[in-house]
Amino acid sequence: MLELRVNDQITLRQLAPGDASNLYRQIDASRKTLRKFLPWVDYNTNEEHSLRFIQLMQRKADEQEAMALGMWYQEQLCGVMDLHGWDHLLQKAEIGYWVSEAFQRKGIATACCKALISFAFKNLRLNKIEIRFVLQNERSGQIPIRLGFTKEGILRHSAKLHGQYVDMVVMGILREDWKF
């Protein structure tokens, strides 16, 4: 099980089935805020859904396709960061993240992104990391900017959010541009 110590208050740890109840509580506590930009929130309506997500991501981690890591702040689960869309041929992947409302504005997602990016470049030998977010999600978009990502474009009508097509911003960083 992967565990990355981010700093003295924050740890990234691969989610395990025993985390399902806690994960569901964090999603449910921030449902209104999270669903503005994350369509999957409407489909995670009980602990069983959270458990199935964790089990799916464990299988994907075993197959080196993706991984889901819980963000732990002062030993409390406060969100999830994942590495997905792992392309072994191109040596690239995408990072996604969300933080529970009670833990936002503490720099947790930025610190965790930085740790996961360093791990992915060093240990997984990736060449490129992308972050995609809904165009209107300006707060989420600040994280890749702070980390030195380059805006690569806007994918028009690239996702659906609550029945409406939305544009996605794509930002990327190359291993050669990352400051370890």
Q: What is the pLDDT of residues 160-177, one digit of tens each?
A: 999 999 999 999 999 999
Residue 135 covered by a domain: no
- Residue 158 forms part of a structural domain: no
Identify whether 153 is part of a domain: no
| Per-residue model confidence as pLDDT tens digits over 61-94 | 999 999 999 999 999 999 999 999 999 999 999 9
Please check whether residue 162 lies inside any domain of the structure: no
Instruction: Indicate whether this model's pTM tops 0.85.
Output: yes
pLDDT at position 34 is 95
Range of the domain at 15: 3-127
* Amino acid 32: pLDDT: 95
Domain count, the chain: 1
Instruction: Report helix angle 47-62 to 20-29, nearest 10.
Output: 120
What's the pLDDT band for 1 if we cut at 50, 70, 90?
confident
Count the Cβ atoms, other than its own, within 10 Å of residue 28.
16
Would 10 be classed as within a structural domain? yes
CATH of the domain at 25: 3.40.630.30
Q: What is the pLDDT of residues 2-58, one digit of tens each?
A: 999 999 999 999 999 999 999 999 999 999 999 999 999 999 999 999 999 999 999
